[in-house]
């Protein structure tokens, strides 16, 4: 099987497994794990922050971040297709008790005007006690449902400056911040400096078996450690896993451009097939999203699966595929052939009307 469902399917290499086996460990809940400490220091330095805390998943780092910035009843500004809002099990409501206020981003990118609109205007005739106070603004770079879209740095800065001027805290879901850097050459810390907290993942494309980190200033990270523990995130000899993350950071980031090339190869190879709606120019990083008009997306991915290719359905007519560390150029060529064979078998049902290329789906992962 060629598995292009997600870059979270990336697997540890032999060298990473050796680093994991050799990792010095201690009890992380007591602050004693040397490998965890080394990872946290390295992430904090990379992102230009005081401190960082290692956790089990990107969901946990994002949601602990939201919890540490807010109190129950506060409002948070999210892009309408943000992972933190749609794809994290309802945690903003369940864990932090916050109200989402949605911004009309296009492929995850919104404008300062969108933020201003959501903030509204204050007036002495309208008591500030009436609405829920907006405390936090969240961005996602690159944007998953937005098809791996990279935030333009100027726009990111303008949005963050506006948020800050209005007293908001700023959180970045940087699960794939490495990919933004690989695509633009802009160092991670140049993006990170506009935020109070940044979540990054080692489990996406880099081959680490698990784990994410949340970075910020010392006081914020101390508060975040409390909420990590509260939701059962104290994972003792976590250095075994942190060693994989360290290896991933040091050795597997610089190769991410290969994944971007593979994503483009895949997109170019399938864009003209019958029933596929894909604008190749939307593929900026490692995520390929497209629309399918000949079959329901669920049926289409079943047919691909029968022929040896795993893909992810995304809503009724969207499909997502992502190359990563263990995917070879030959596998991309084979994937193109499999997609072509299914698309050609069903071309009679392909819509003659061209549909807008799909880059997002509210129901899609």
Ligand X SMILES: Cc1ncc(COP(=O)(O)O)c(C=O)c1O
CA geometry: angle at 337 spanning 332 and 338, to 5°? Answer: 95
The one among 28, 33, 36, 59 contacting ligand X by CB under 6 A: 59
- 57 touching ligand X, by CB under 6 A: yes
The one among 80, 96, 212, 282 contacting ligand X by CB under 6 A: 212
Task: Outline where DSSP puts E strands in the chain.
Answer: 2-3, 51-55, 75-79, 99-103, 134-140, 169-174, 197-201, 212-216, 276-277, 288-292, 309-310, 312-313, 318-321
Which residues, 6+ apart, have CB-to-CB distance to 328 below 8 Å?
none
- Give the closest residue to 176 by CA, choosing from 145, 144, 211: 144
Indicate the residue among 144 and 294 with the shorter CB distance to ligand X: 144
The one among 40, 140, 188, 259 contacting ligand X by CB under 6 A: 140
Stretch that binds ligand X, among 53-61, 72-80, 105-113, 116-124 (CB under 6 A): 53-61
Contact string 75-104 vs ligand X (x = CB under 6 A): --------x---------------------
Closest residue to ligand X, judged by C-beta, is 58
- 65 touching ligand X, by CB under 6 A: no
> Least CB distance from residue 229 to ligand X, whole Å?
18
d(CA 112, CA 159): 5
- 201 touching ligand X, by CB under 6 A: yes
Indicate the residue among 181 and 293 with the shorter CB distance to ligand X: 181
Whose structure tokens read 């081959």?
207
d(CA 248, CA 314): 28
d(CA 295, CA 343): 9
Query: Are 92 and 76 spatial neighbours (Cβ–Cβ below 8 Å)?
Result: yes
d(CA 243, CA 247): 6
Q: What number of residues does the chain have?
A: 365
**Which residues between 303 and 342 bind ligand X (CB under 6 A)?**
none
- Give the closest residue to 208 by CA, choosing from 239, 234, 237, 242: 242
- 150 touching ligand X, by CB under 6 A: no
Q: What secondary structure letter does DSSP report for 166? A: T
Indicate the residue among 78 and 247 with the shorter CB distance to ligand X: 78
* Token reading at 174: 């940087």
Stretch that binds ligand X, among 12-20, 51-59, 128-136, 309-317 (CB under 6 A): 51-59
Stretch that binds ligand X, among 19-27, 34-42, 57-65, 110-118 (CB under 6 A): 57-65
Indicate the residue among 59 and 252 with the shorter CB distance to ligand X: 59
- Using CB under 6 A as the binding criterion, the count of chain residues that bind ligand X stands at 13
- 175 touching ligand X, by CB under 6 A: yes
> Least CB distance from residue 97 to ligand X, whole Å?
20
Give the interface with ligand X as residue ranges (CB under 6 A): 8, 57-59, 62, 83, 140, 144, 173, 175, 201, 203, 212
């Amino acid at each position: 099987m060629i598995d292009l469902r997600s870059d979270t399917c990336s697997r540890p290499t032999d060298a990473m497994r050796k680093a994991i086996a050799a990792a010095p460990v201690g009890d992380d809940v007591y602050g004693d794990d040397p490998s965890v400490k080394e990872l946290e220091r390295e992430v904090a330095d990379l992102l230009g922050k005081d401190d960082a805390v290692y956790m089990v998943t990107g969901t946990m780092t994002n949601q602990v971040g939201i919890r540490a910035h807010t109190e129950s009843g506060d409002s948070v500004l999210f892009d309408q297709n943000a992972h933190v809002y749609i794809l994290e099990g309802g945690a903003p409501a369940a864990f932090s008790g916050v109200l989402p206020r949605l911004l009309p981003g296009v492929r995850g990118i919104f404008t300062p005007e969108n933020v201003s609109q959501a903030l509204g205007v204050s007036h002495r005739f309208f008591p500030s006690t009436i609405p829920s106070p907006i405390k936090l603004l969240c961005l996602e770079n690159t944007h998953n449902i937005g098809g791996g879209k990279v935030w333009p740095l100027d726009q990111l800065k303008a949005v963050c400056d506006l948020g800050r001027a209005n007293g908001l805290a700023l959180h970045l879901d940087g699960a794939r911040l490495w990919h933004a850097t690989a695509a633009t050459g802009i160092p991670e810390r140049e993006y990170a400096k506009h935020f109070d907290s940044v979540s990054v993942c080692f489990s996406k494309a880099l081959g680490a078996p698990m784990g994410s980190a949340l970075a910020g200033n010392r006081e914020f990270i101390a508060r975040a450690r409390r909420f990590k523990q509260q939701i059962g995130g104290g994972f003792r000899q976590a250095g075994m896993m942190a060693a994989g993350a360290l290896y991933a950071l040091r050795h597997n980031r610089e190769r991410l451009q290969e994944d971007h090339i593979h994503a483009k190869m895949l997109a170019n190879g399938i864009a003209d097939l019958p029933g596929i709606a894909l604008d190749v120019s939307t593929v900026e990083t490692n995520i390929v999203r497209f629309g399918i008009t000949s079959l329901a997306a669920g049926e289409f991915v079943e047919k691909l699966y029968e022929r040896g290719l795993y893909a992810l359905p995304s809503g009724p007519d969207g499909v997502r595929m992502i190359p990563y560390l263990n995917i070879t150029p030959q596998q991309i060529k084979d994937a193109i052939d499999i997609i072509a064979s299914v698309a050609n078998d069903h071309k009679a049902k392909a819509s003659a009307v061209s549909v807008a290329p799909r880059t997002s789906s509210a129901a899609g992962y």
